[in-house]
């Protein structure tokens, strides 16, 4: 037990010899600067908080900026801030903060205010993106002369999804631009590692090979060599659904993954696995989009009779066990013989 040197009252707690109420009397507990500048990117609308750029609602960003600028004196802890925001114009906000403070277990209140000024800026990512910055190029090609529009759309969708996924946690990752070139498409990317991860992803999805080649583009200010990396992904000509030749057998390709593929042999309808290392030996025979349809006119056991799509003669076709063909089946001609494609 001690007593207050000012009012003389006995008190359990004292600060500098004063009881809590004498200590609090007229004392300013919190303070805020006259103004705070809050930088906003005029391109993406994100706010600069500390050393990061973050997507926020404008009023939330204004209040957060004000709260961050609030300081409390020694022995005072701010436990809650009630905000009042007065909008002067779209760039100027007066924020009054009514703080609930804890002083040695006692609750006290104090009010401070600051002016939050919105400053237009361009964040680093946007300035790079707007300035066409890139560190790597992903070149998507096929073994043949051209990349088909379908395959192009499919691979670009994969690339865009992957970049969106990775950019969610790392905002320095982006696609600078995409360019259609003879034989395929070039995707310019903000980072080298992004180029590599996309090349790997595509090569896994299609069992394709990729090649990395560095290109010296200059030197940094401190004399380090500066490189850009080009990742060339050569997609195989075949695609899931196509008729391919594997080990001299005609097969339908039914799956491709990072581990290899699976095919169905058209002669006996058996499914087989193809190791990734052997995928490069697969040759395209006919694209699934070019397969013909034949009308089923009769079915019995493991055979159906169809009308030949070219000459309308009746042809017997073997079908897989337990297979129930519809009114038409897809067929392929191999050495003048028609085979059913399951
Ligand atoms: Zn006192
Ligand atoms: Zn931005």
Q: How far is the CA of 8 from the centre of ligand 1 (A)?
A: 6
Contacts 24+ apart (CB under 8 A), 156-161: 156/185, 156/187, 158/201, 158/202, 158/205, 159/187, 159/198, 159/202
Question: From ligand 2's centre to the CA of 46, what distance in Å?
Answer: 6
Give distance in angstroms: CA of 47 to centre of ligand 2. Answer: 8
The CA 239 to ligand 2 mean position distance, Å, reads 39
Mean pLDDT on 264-285: 91
Ligand in nearest proximity to the CA of 174: 2
CA of 31 to the centre of ligand 1 (A): 24
Q: What does the pLDDT read at residue 258?
A: 82
246-275 burial: b if 16+ Cβ within 10 Å, else e:
beeebbbbeebeeeebbbbebeebeeeebe
Query: 15-59, pLDDT tens digit by residue?
Result: 888 888 899 998 999 999 999 999 999 998 999 988 889 999 999
Domains in the chain, ordered, with CATH?
2-123 (no CATH), 132-235 (no CATH), 243-341 (2.40.50)
CA–centroid distance, residue 106 to ligand 1 (Å): 14
Number of Cβ atoms within 10 Å of the Cβ of 306:
24
The model's pTM is 0.65
> What is the SS3 assignment for 244-271?
EEECCEEEEEEEEECCEEEEEECCCCCE
pLDDT at 306 over 80: yes
Ligand nearest to the CA of 14: 1
């Amino acid at each position: 037990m001690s007593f207050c040197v000012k009012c003389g009252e006995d008190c359990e707690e004292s600060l500098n010899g004063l009881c809590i109420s004498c200590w609090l009397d007229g004392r300013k507990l919190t303070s805020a600067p006259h103004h705070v500048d809050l930088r906003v990117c005029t391109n993406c609308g994100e706010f600069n908080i500390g050393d990061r750029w973050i997507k926020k609602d404008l009023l939330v960003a204004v209040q957060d900026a004000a709260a961050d600028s609030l300081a409390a004196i020694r022995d005072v802890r701010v436990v809650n801030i009630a905000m009042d925001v007065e909008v002067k114009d779209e760039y100027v906000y007066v924020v009054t903060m009514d703080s609930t403070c804890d002083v040695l277990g006692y609750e006290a209140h104090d009010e401070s205010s600051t002016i939050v000024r919105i400053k237009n800026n361009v964040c680093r990512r946007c300035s790079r993106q707007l300035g066409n910055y890139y560190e790597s190029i992903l070149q998507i090609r096929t073994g043949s002369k051209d990349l088909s529009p379908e395959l192009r759309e499919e691979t670009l969708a994969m690339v865009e999804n992957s970049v969106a996924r990775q950019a969610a946690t790392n905002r320095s990752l982006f696609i600078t631009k995409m360019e259609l070139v003879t034989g395929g498409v070039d995707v310019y990317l903000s980072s080298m590692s992004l180029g590599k991860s996309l090349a790997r992803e595509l090569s896994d999805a299609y069992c394709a090979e990729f090649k990395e080649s560095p290109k010296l583009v200059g030197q940094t200010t401190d004399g380090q060599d500066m490189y850009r990396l080009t990742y060339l992904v050569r997609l195989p000509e075949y695609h899931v659904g196509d008729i391919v030749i594997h080990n001299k057998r005609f097969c339908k390709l039914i799956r491709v993954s990072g581990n290899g593929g699976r095919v169905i042999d058209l002669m006996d309808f058996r499914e087989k696995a193809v190791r990734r290392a052997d995928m490069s030996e697969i040759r395209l025979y006919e694209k699934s989009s070019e397969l013909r349809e034949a009308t089923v006119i009769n079915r019995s056991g493991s055979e159906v009779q169809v009308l030949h799509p070219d000459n309308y003669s009746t042809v017997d076709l073997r079908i897989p066990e337990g297979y129930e063909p519809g009114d038409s089946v897809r067929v392929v001609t191999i050495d003048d013989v028609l085979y059913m494609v399951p």
